[in-house]
Amino acid sequence: MSTANRERCRLPSHDTVRLTQAQPADLSGKDVGTVNEHIRNIINRTVERSRIMPYVNIKITREGATPEQKARLIAGATQLLVDVLGKNPATTVVVIDEVDTDNWGVGGETITVRRKAGK
């Protein structure tokens, strides 16, 4: 890209600029087809990322939740997002992290200590 073209590209960071198809090609020294393909790829990646949301992360202590209980948590969290926010269940991701009770603390104590103390 020539120095003159680079100078023409300097804009305040949040301004909206409308360009013809030929202008980005001219500024970058690429042909219009290449520029259009690049723009399509950016749009497709953005759309693809939006399809994998929302993401729900459930953290529970590792104290014997059964596979059936975890399946109910996943189904319930997914349905909640459908009902409340109108999200697509096919693109809703739910992850359950089980944390050892020695690695989870409340009030300055591990869950292991709290369970032994009957808290």
Domain of 68, CATH number, reads: 3.30.429.10
> Cis peptide leading into 54, omega within 30 of 0?
yes
Domain count for the chain: 2
Residues 112, 73, single domain; the answer is yes
pLDDT of residue 51: 61
pLDDT along the chain (119 residues), means of 10: 54 69 82 84 70 87 96 97 92 94 95 93
> For residues 40 and 63, is the Cβ–Cβ distance under 8 A?
no
- Structure tokens belonging to residue 8: 């023409």
Residues known to be catalytic:
54
- Are 20 and 58 found together in one domain? no
- Asked if residues 36 and 10 have their Cβ atoms less than 8 Å apart, the reply is no
Domain coverage including residue 20? 3-49
Q: How far apart are CA 89 and CA 78, in angstroms?
A: 6
Please indicate, yes or no, whether residues 30 and 62 belong to a single structural domain of this protein.
Answer: no
Instruction: Report d(CA 17, CA 27) in Å as an integer.
Output: 14
63 with 108, same domain? yes
Q: 43 with 62, same domain?
A: no
Q: What is the pLDDT of residue 1?
A: 47
pLDDT at 18: 77
Does pTM surpass 0.85?
Answer: no
